[in-house]
Chains A and B, each alone.
Chain A
Amino acid sequence: MSGCLIWDASGNVKLNTSDRLGRFLGTYTATTSDSSVTVTGADQGDVVFAVTSTGDNTLGAVPHVVISGSTLSWTWGDIGPAYRFPAIIQVFVH
């Protein structure tokens, strides 16, 4: 066995060598036009992301977001300009 073991004060293992932890790679802003950015650290494991509208609560439209390699891309499709607000994309890896 190799790696790091962490115990709590009661002697229970908090972190084992087989555990998979989530880490935060960063926050990116999707503009209201189709575009893409490069994500640093996307090669660290499996990437997941959360897309959040900055618009009104009811009109919470967000773009369609995909990641391929280190490239995070977004497209707005049929969503009209009136419903587009910059979207926050939080990127995580595990």
Chain B
Amino acid sequence: MTGLAVINDSYTTQFDENFKTLNCTQHSTATMTQTSAWPTTPVQMATLSFYAAAPLIAFRCAYPAVVWKYVQDSPGHWIYYIVSQQATSGTSLEYWIFEPILASQIATPSVGLEVYNASGELTFSSEMKFLKITDTPVKAAVIQCLLSATRIVDYNPDLQNPNPVPGHPTTGQTADSFKMVGAAVNGNTVSYSLDTYDFITYWGTPDSTEVSWAQTPTSYILVDVSGY
């Protein structure tokens, strides 16, 4: 092995010359408003629209909120849709955007340590706002609610499924369902609460097999954004 690599106490590479470190480039807030995407259940939604290279989004909300879907509709332009059932209209959502570091994002002249790869691209700067991971908890999924107490007969094209599940294991029935799991971070600490939503459109009344089959554990990454 040649070049520079810095290893942490757990023997994981913190930064090196091969891969770009992630850097907080944007910090902003959005406001949730009620959306009509779910006609039977009031849902609050914030729409984030921004330019970034290859973003990872961290967000904080006083209520469990989840990324419903996101799209890159043109080169470098991203739209994220974040929804919450427990939030009220006007609820604020704070978010941070992390991207692979670019030299143009570092103030010059800079001080400290910079690392470049063999192509002359910046992979690390001590001036950057690092993506620091504090925990990676895994939450076992629990269904909290269904869109309808009985069923939704008509297929709703607005409910296109970003996280499809396969057909029913025994009947082969296809359920256009998508799972969304949300976390709420309270205050400026790493304390958090988790909640789970399963918005499911059934062709028939869900039975216990379908409910169980629709659940999967979900992992989270908690990020330290102090001072960002």
Q: Which A residues contact B (CB, under 8 angstroms)?
A: 1-4, 6, 14-15, 17-25, 27, 41, 44-46, 48, 50, 52-62, 64, 77-79, 83, 88, 90, 92-94
Contact = CB atoms under 8 A, between A and B. Distances in A.
A6 B133 contact: no
Majority-rule SS of A interface residues: loop
B112 A6 contact: yes
Contacts, number: 130
B153 interface: no
A94 B72 CA distance: 24
Given A52-B70, A94-B221, A22 B22 contact: yes
A23 B160 contact: no
A24 B70 CA distance: 19
Bin the interface of chain B by size: 35 or more
B113 A6 contact: yes
B51 interface: no
Contact of B10 (A18, A52, A56, A59): A18
B56 A79 contact: no
A41 B167 contact: no
Nearest to A78: B174
B25 interface: no
Interface of B: 6-10, 12-15, 18-22, 54, 56, 69-73, 78-79, 98-100, 112-113, 126, 130-134, 136, 157-158, 160-167, 174, 221
B160 A94 contact: no
The residue among B7, B54, B165, B174 with the most chain A CB atoms within 10 A of its own CB is: B54
8 contacts: A21-B130, A41-B18, A45-B12, A52-B78, A54-B72, A61-B164, A90-B56, A94-B221
B227 to A, nearest CB: 8
A45 B13 contact: yes
Contacts of B165: 77
Nearest to B15: A21
A64 to B, nearest CB: 7
B19 A25 contact: yes
Contacts of A61: 160-162, 164
A94 B12 contact: yes
Nearest to B128: A14
A58 B158 contact: yes
